[in-house]
Chains A and B, each alone.
Chain A
Amino acid sequence: SQTIHQWPATLVQPVGSPLSLECTVEGTSNPNLYWYRQAAGRGLQLLFYSVGIGQISSEVPQNLSASRPQDRQFILSSKKLLLSDSGFYLCAWGTGYRRNTIYFGEGSWLTVV
């Protein structure tokens, strides 16, 4: 069966510091991969998605970036965090077929102070 791992689970970072969140998927190949952010009391905002290695689509302009160095690895990064970057970050994988369905990792809580 497929599993998705995301880390770290929780982190507190000062404003201006860098960020790296990592996500890996096991048990499937060539998945669609996604990064979402959920601010406190708000819905899920699609940040990035990827349908293959080196193929990254960005939904909103921001100081975040994403990379997919391997088929089942998805990394979210920032060079300088802002207070507004605080939130619950969720990685998800999708089957990528006609009836694509996505499944979430356990999430990473980021607090920028």
Chain B
Amino acid sequence: QKEVEQNSGPLSVPEGAIASLNCTYSDRGSQSFFWYRQYSGKSPELIMSIYSNGDKEDGRFTAQLNKASQYVSLLIRDSQPSDSATYLCAVTDSTGNQFYFGTGTSLTVIP
């Protein structure tokens, strides 16, 4: 399988701070890149997708992609306790059909 690497954490940030999550991937042919959030005992839910180099912002979330460095990140501004979850990075293969996930980074936002 293709490799997707994430720091497992745990990452702890105070409420209102910026949380920074990172991900690297091995397949230079990867087409699409995603961040999912998974609460304990629940299924993953899509937060953001990004397809081209640069930044993409959606509310408090910003995804950043650098294909040359095979690196994708997620910034969460004004972190809230409800953001406490595991964040999964996912990348597709060159066809865009197969999705490969990292092991996730556990984030705790401290009130």
Q: A interface vs B, CB < 8 Å?
A: 32, 34, 36, 42-46, 49, 51, 57, 59-60, 90, 92, 94, 96, 98-107
Chain B interface residue count, CB cutoff 8 Å, equals 21
Q: Are B49 and A101 in contact (CB under 8 A)?
A: yes
Q: How many A-B contacts at CB < 8 Å in the complex? A: 55
Q: Does B96 contact A (CB under 8 A)?
A: yes
Q: How far is the CB of B2 from chain A (nearest CB, A)?
A: 10
Q: Are B1 and A59 in contact (CB under 8 A)?
A: yes
Q: B interface vs A, CB < 8 Å?
A: 1, 32, 34, 42-46, 49, 51, 88, 92, 96-104
Q: Are A43 and B101 in contact (CB under 8 A)?
A: yes
Q: How far is the CB of A81 from chain B (nearest CB, A)?
A: 22
Q: Are A105 and B43 in contact (CB under 8 A)?
A: yes
Q: Are B49 and A99 in contact (CB under 8 A)?
A: yes
Shortest Cβ distance from B89 into A: residue: A43
Q: Are A46 and B43 in contact (CB under 8 A)?
A: no
Complex alpha-carbon distance, A99 and B43, angstroms: 22
